[in-house]
Amino acid sequence: MRYIDLFCGIGGFRKAMEAVGGECVFSSDIDKFARETYKENFGDYPEGDITKISENDVPDFDILLGGFPCQPFSYSGRNEGFEDKTRGTLFFDILRILKNKRPKMFLLENVKGLKSHNGGETLKVIENSLIDLGYDIHWKILNSHDFGVPQKRERWYCVGFDKTIDFKFPVGNKKGSTLREIIDVNINDESLNITDFELERIKYHFNNAEEIRVKHDSSKYNPNTKKGKHGVFSFQKPDGSLRFHVGDRSKTQIQEAFYSCLDTYACTIIANRVPKLWDIGRKLSVKEAARIQGFPDDFKFPVSNAQAYKQLGNAVVVTVVQEILKTMKDYYINEYQEDTAINESHSVEVAS
């Protein structure tokens, strides 16, 4: 299986594909720091901005992989093809490559919010554009916590085939993993410690935990701000995680902070947020953050810790993608290699 790795980041798709088997013939990402990490781990330096690369310069391949950014689409030309509806977005570049290269299958990933983005119109354009190219598509929201990863990370996954396939997504049946399984409690690194301010309010919560929702002193905040107007509250969920939010029951609650603990899962790691644990008073190390994204311990980051956290926040969960690719490989073997064998047999008969 020859594949291309679009918007490759640090190579989460490729890491998953290594366990499945296949040959990467092309990769691309606009972030120079992510490309450095990719090269350090796979030996290939990805191409740059895909919008500046012609589809004719992309080698032939069987599978397209891509976690494309979700961008606002233009709906000015509803009666036109995907060129009109998606031009100016990075999804357009996926479509033009699919149209030109006609791979057998693809796997796309995006945030859960894509499902409801712009009232569902964005997803509708994506679906129709892929169907118009002649692909049979299937999508589902999957949670990494269901696949044995101690992180609640829900993402939209979409597979497509150039023929009708009765595709079934893998079922995650490993829910229940906790951070205790991946945390090194013996780490002594002051740079990972949460601030004194955070420690103080965590302590205040537990000193007043007879209240379900503990009200914190909001006099320190400007009275014209949301915190000053509505107050800051904390409460502990049944799973052990500690939440801080702004606002009371009669107002919209805005989550301000989320602290996990060893016996629960992490919140979703994103580019500007690293999960923190209230019971050990620190955030995850880079290696631990990589673990909750499904990367092995020998994965290297030749960049600053700040860049490494950002890169991991933008990455796919290797564990989940690997399970989807395993299922896709089964279809590849059963559907496509069988067709190849039939065609080769027919060619031999005709030649005879």
Neighbour tally for 16: CB within 10 Å:
23
Active site residue 70: yes
Q: Contact at 8 Å (CB) between 318 and 290?
A: no
Q: Contact at 8 Å (CB) between 108 and 98?
A: no
Report the Cα 234 to chain-centroid distance in Å.
29
In our burial notation (b when 16+ CB lie closer than 10 A, e otherwise), range 92-107 reads bbbbbbbbebebbbbb
Q: Round to whole Å and give the CA distance between 32 and 46.
A: 9
Q: Round to whole Å and give the CA distance between 138 and 128.
A: 12
Interhelix angle 305-313/32-42, rounded to 10 degrees, is 90
Q: Contact at 8 Å (CB) between 153 and 143?
A: yes
* Angle (nearest 5°) at CA 139 between 76 and 169: 170
Out of 70, 158, 261, 267, the active site residue is 70
Q: Round to whole Å and give the CA distance between 311 and 301.
A: 9
Q: Contact at 8 Å (CB) between 122 and 70?
A: yes
Q: Contact at 8 Å (CB) between 79 and 21?
A: no
- Kindly list the catalytic residues: 70
